[in-house]
A and B are shown apart, each in its own frame.
Chain A
Amino acid sequence: MKIKLTFWRVVFIVIMGMGLYSTFVRYSHGLGAVSNMSDRFPWGLWIGFDCLCGVMLAAGGFCVIGAVYLFNIQRLHSVVRPAVLTAFLGYLLFIVGLLFDLGRPWYIWHQLIYMNPHSVMFEVGMCVMAYTTVLFFEFLPNVLERFNLKAPIRWIKRIYAVLVVLGILLSTLHQSSLGSLYLIMPSELHPFWYTPALPFLFFGSAIAVGLAMTIFESTQSAKAFGRHLELPVLVELGGALLVALWVNALLRFEDYFHRSLLGQIIKPSYEAYFLWLELALAFVIPISMLSFKKVRLSPNGLYLASVISLLGFITNRLNVSLIGFETYVGHHYIPKWTEFSVTLMIIAMGFALFGVAVKHLPIFPQENHVVEQRVRTKPEPLVGTVVLGHAGD
């Protein structure tokens, strides 16, 4: 079989090559050689993006599962499988990212035997571990169906209610706890982002991101695999996204209002620029767009609004984890290229794995044969076609 070199394949190979080089440096020369982290900036891009954004972008899984199974909104059923796949991959890649960032990753299992219940990090660790297991079981039916194993599917169906409730409970806990991590640093994190409401804001934004991510990945899969786009589903998600964005925007406003910061946030400053960028991308632009019925009913409009809000919430997480510390530290942290390359490699792995899963598993069951046919007649590159909602990294 001849593999054709296409643009995206070359990009993929370059990214993987640079990433593997950085991986080698990371494990042969240590964190100091591979990153610009230092005693002044002990947490860098890998925590800010790979962990915080990764988990946030994988929130689509619990949002969609919650809508379809908890609230029994069956019309959204078609997006469950891709959302669960995205979430499962997201959490797996989050763990991969953690193996890069932890100084002593070979002791990661210590989490299970030396427990400190006072630590937010402990709670996040346990929840992520447990939730990844839940996602494994939510994802498993795809594999079982592929190999026509009916009995285990029945067992999983029997405990599905438990999986649903457990998954949402664990997501509530660790999505919010990622915000709680920063509560212990009131003197370090800039007041624009340090607030006792951090856990609520992190959880609220995870729901908005989950909805936006589902719109993003559905549209992308439609484009990549030539699938029929289920517009009514997207429209419904878009409406929910608009509501979620409003709720989040109001929470942010309330927070600044109660801490009497409204005067400060409109004054230009280094932090204010980043805050404006965040608020514009997360709220102002997507809310304005989605307020038009025309946009809410158009696939392109929904897609664009979702992507912009995703960028906004990514900016938010980076502000909380990186920008918000710069004034306190008195030093700018700019990630080294090797840090970027590891992050890019993990994202690329997510895209590739999504593609492999969609190709071989009944993620989009009704149109499976169509996809296969298309793949056979027109050998599209795996990576090129799959510009998909990978989530985490």
Chain B
Amino acid sequence: MSKALLYDATMCIGCKQCEVACAEQNKLPYDDKVAAESVQSEHKYTVVMTKNDKFMRRLCMHCEHPACASACPVGAFHKTKEGPVVYDVWKCIGCRYCMVACAFAQPKYEWHSLNPRVRKCIMCPDRVVAGKQTACAEICPTGATKFGDRDDLIKEAQDRIRQNPSTYLPRIYGLHEVGGTCVLILSSVNVEEYGYPASNKIGDTPMPEYTGRVMEKIPDFIPVWSLVLGGIYWISHRRQEVAAAETAERVEDEGNRSKG
């Protein structure tokens, strides 16, 4: 069963412990300067944002049908059966199609490196495979970020909304968006206010379907189009041959007639 993270923004106290744990887990630099940065970058995979004394966390959504994995020409991204969407740096050629393809703008780039890598939250795959929680979930003092089975977390989120309808907006962001994600968000204000793409804009269709509809026709298109092109070639050249043969015949006929 696929693992997931449930982030409940109403329980978040903005302590940024998740940022610290994430940096530690991924061997990234972390100091006051990095802590003050309010955007994700190649050295900050997750960020806790503050707006009107309310907090919101951002990280890779770990889509059930990730656009990055479908877009990558060398398959450097793939979705593991445990849930995390991971990156194999040794395959990457640096085309950055993943970055433009991601509806959540999660992949970041090492713009100043000479052998740049794409960077994003990979949901601590080693820990998850070993049966442990992600670093951010483990350290979270209030349980705002909770790790578990996706289905269980969905049930829990629904229960929380049911029990405290005045606290929560009646939606779980990530439940259906782009076909579902492994990061689920509960909040009292719209996540869109913190830069998340609007649900109605990204829709419930998995992003890979938009290109898949075209790509799946290619195996049929190649033989059909080759035959059509070959046919045109044959007909247009055959006409020329026939015309030449007819002219030759006529010349021969006329020659015979003048002889006779």
For A32, the chain B residues whose CB sits under 8 A away are 111-112
Closest 7 CB pairs of A and B: A103-B94, A32-B111, A72-B236, A116-B75, A42-B99, A122-B73, A121-B73
Indicate if the CB atoms of A187 and B197 lie closer than 8 Å.
Answer: yes
In the bound complex, CA of A120 to CA of B114 (Å): 26
Helix, strand, loop or mixed for chain A's interface? helix
For A173, the chain B residues whose CB sits under 8 A away are 218, 221-222
Indicate if the CB atoms of B72 and A186 lie closer than 8 Å.
Answer: no
Indicate if the CB atoms of B225 and A169 lie closer than 8 Å.
Answer: yes
One of B24-32, B132-140, B161-169, B208-216 at the interface: B208-216
Minimum CB distance partner of A164 in chain B: B233
CB distance from A123 to the nearest CB of B (A): 7
Indicate if the CB atoms of A43 and B222 lie closer than 8 Å.
Answer: no
For the A-B complex with A40-B105, A105-B94, A107-B91 known, give 17 more contacts whose Cβ atoms are closer than 8 Å: A29-B114, A30-B111, A30-B112, A33-B112, A42-B99, A72-B237, A104-B93, A105-B93, A116-B73, A120-B215, A164-B233, A177-B214, A183-B210, A184-B101, A184-B211, A185-B101, A187-B103
* CB contact under 8 A between A42 and B100, given known A70-B232, A107-B92: yes
In the bound complex, CA of A103 to CA of B76 (Å): 14
In the bound complex, CA of A123 to CA of B73 (Å): 8
- Chain B count of residues within 8 A CB distance of the other chain: 57
Binding site for A on B (CB under 8 A): 40-42, 67, 70-76, 91-97, 99-101, 103, 105, 108-116, 197, 201-203, 207-208, 210-215, 218, 221-222, 225-226, 229-230, 232-233, 236-237, 239-240
In the bound complex, CA of A72 to CA of B239 (Å): 9
Indicate if the CB atoms of A186 and B211 lie closer than 8 Å.
Answer: no
Indicate if the CB atoms of A37 and B214 lie closer than 8 Å.
Answer: no
- Cβ-defined partner of A187 (8 Å) among B111, B115, B201: B201
CB distance from A312 to the nearest CB of B (A): 24
Indicate if the CB atoms of B105 and A39 lie closer than 8 Å.
Answer: yes
Q: Quick check: is A110 within 8 A (CB to CB) of the other chain?
A: yes
For A172, the chain B residues whose CB sits under 8 A away are 225
For B67, the chain A residues whose CB sits under 8 A away are 184
CB distance from B85 to the nearest CB of A (A): 14
Indicate if the CB atoms of B116 and A69 lie closer than 8 Å.
Answer: no
* CB contact under 8 A between A42 and B103, given known A110-B91, A114-B75: no
Minimum CB distance partner of A113 in chain B: B74
Indicate if the CB atoms of B233 and A70 lie closer than 8 Å.
Answer: yes
Indicate if the CB atoms of A39 and B100 lie closer than 8 Å.
Answer: no
In the bound complex, CA of A42 to CA of B42 (Å): 13
